[in-house]
Structure 1
Amino acid sequence: MSKNTVSDRFRKVDVDEYDENKFVDEEEGGENQLGPDEAEVDSLIRQYPSFIHQHVHNLIKSCLSRASRGNLMGALQAVLKNPPINTKNQTVKDRAEGLVLKVLSSFKSTDIEKGVQSLDKNGVDLLMKYIYKGFERPSENSSAVLLQWHEKALSAGGVGSIVRVLTARKTV
């Protein structure tokens, strides 16, 4: 049999206060978030490595058309640097999503793994948020690109990355 207790402290706790369906996010500071800097990302995408020597210039000129599209790793870092997570302004979030998709589409399929490996754990989780956001509204060729990125991000972040994205309250 159970022992009767004199204590009734447990009755003073309002358990309905902790119901997650009634949760209201009142975090401050989201109004000033503007998302990633579009000009910085565009300049990093278009940036070509500069070389001083003339004899190297001709070799690089022939390789640029095939191999290099700019500083895509820097563009990826820049676009993930200031995500509009705390803001409720949907236009800022849409602009940031479009910018991320632009950067992800600029990568060659062989460079995707290097791009994912350059990110830390939080960066991979943020990338996964943008990938799933891109899956919500597919465009012309975005699904194939996003699936490639998802494969590499999954191998880097594991299943835990997917769980963290799907259970996160704050979206991008």
Structure 2
Amino acid sequence: MARNTLSNRFRKVDIDEYDENKFVDEQEEAAEQQGPDSGEVDGFIRQYPSEKRLSQLERAQGIVLKVLTSFKSSEIEQAVKSLDRNGVDLLMKYIYKGFEKPTENSSAILLQWHEKALAVGGVGCIVRVLTARKTV
């Protein structure tokens, strides 16, 4: 029998520390420590009640979708390449949100955006978007 099986060090690990409901992302924690004036988005979220905020977010998503569909196919690659990593992740979030509520011809255009964003951001971009706690 191996020596490691006789060890009882594992009993000192607090498994409640790793509970999903208690998990705090480092970025979220840093944003909370900055206070209420940490950004326009935080101020916007705190200013409006949740019902108004949802309608505002839906309008914002609609505007982003209109902007994405207004690009010409030849301009998409250049636009995506101009974004940094966080920008590509945010773009990918809006692309997936657009897939959730498709409009006429939006899926074809969003697939073009998805292809270009995947080429720039890689598979990691998709993984970060799908595992993110905060959505758009």
Taking structure 1 as the reference length, the TM-score comes to 0.57
Does residue 77 of structure 2 align to residue 113 of structure 1?
Answer: yes
Moved more, 9-18 or 155-164: 9-18
Deviation at 1:95, TM superposition (A): 1.5
Indicate which of 95, 119, 125 corresponds to 1:131.
Answer: 95
Matched, 1:91 2:55: yes
Q: Residue in 2 aligned with 1:16?
A: 16
For residues 9-40 of structure 1, what are the alpha-carbon distances to aligned partners after superposition, in whole Å with 9 as ceiling and x for unaligned?
865654134221x2477x65566236xxxxxx
2:11 and 2:111 map into 1 onto residues whose CA distance is: 51
Identity of aligned residues (%): 66
Unaligned runs of 5+ in 2: none
State whether structure 2 residue 120 is matched by structure 1 residue 156: yes
1:33 paired to 2:21: no
CA distance in 2, matches of 1:98, 1:165: 19
Structure with greater helix share of residues: 2
Question: 1:116 Cα shift?
Answer: 0.5
CA distance in 1, matches of 2:10, 2:100: 44
Aligned length: 117
Please list every run of 5 or more consecutive structure 1 residues that lacks an aligned counterpart in the other structure.
Answer: 35-86
Instruction: Report the TM-score when normalising by structure 2.
Output: 0.71
Instruction: State the 1:101 CA deviation.
Output: 0.4
Q: What's the secondary structure of 1:126's corresponding residue?
A: helix
Deviations 1:63-110 (A, max 9, x none): xxxxxxxxxxxxxxxxxxxxxxxx893223212211110110110111
